[in-house]
Structure 1
Amino acid sequence: MNHHLNLEVFYPDSMERVWQALTDPSFLSRWLMPADFEPTVGYRYSFQTLAHKITGEVLECDGKSRLVYTWDDGESDEPSLVSWSLRPDGDGTRLTLEHSEFAAPEPYVLIEAHMNWSQASVALAAVLRMPVPIVYCADEPVIPILERAGFRQPEKEEASCQA
């Protein structure tokens, strides 16, 4: 069975800027992982974290609207497939991610992948809006990353009981 996950996010940024974030190694290193990447069909890329190395090959690069590559995290016999699609949406860009062709994973694998991509999409939003770089690391909890980017959780109001 082909297991997959989908994630769709709106960014109030141009398609060109979101495309740059998906394909430029200096941008990728800020929201996903340090990267050796080129958006060229046949290019063998790598992403590196403190604990993991992801490798793969770019399979499709359609202008600045679609990017597809294999994703080999070394944990399965066969690589999975990551597909990004961009389309204009009002004053911004609608980005769709499909991560597919997981080889019969345990349920936790899909849950973990969804959590990681969800966190990365938030880090991408922070990077797109920040004029100064932040660094996202998949091995680090997302809250400190968001705090470095200037996102703050609202202060909780003290509960008070008055008679």
Structure 2
Amino acid sequence: MSFNENLFHQIKVEGRSTDALFTVPKQYTNLSYLSTGAQGIVVKAYDTVAQEQVAIKKIIHPFLTTMTARRTYREFVLLTTMKHPNIIMLKNAFTPHQSLEDFDDIYVVMELMNYNLSQDLKPSNIVVNDKCILKILDFGLARKIETGE
């Protein structure tokens, strides 16, 4: 893989079951593992430009199948169009790849949250009152996000 070494650096992140190599702009430092999901790996990082902690999701092989391409596209459309204080905010998105032949990963930078309050979020765990105020219930699977520290 080729990338611009003046703009990007590679950082090995030790995960729970596997290690991952992140190629990120040099403004992102102090990467530490947070979680692994269906689409990729999420780390905590420090953004030296914005001077704040962020979450970086590495989407691995986003265009491998039609289904993964659709999921990736859907996530980008939703994150870029939905603006609400209760929806995670997209801060940046990038790929370090310089050619289509190498294009294999997409990185999504989002605001960092400290807790995953519902690992069982589904329609039956969301209730609404007569004033259309939504509330989330059933926190039996709630977990503090581990930072690897």
Give the structure-2-normalised TM-score.
0.34
Greater strand content: 2
Give the structure-1-normalised TM-score.
0.32
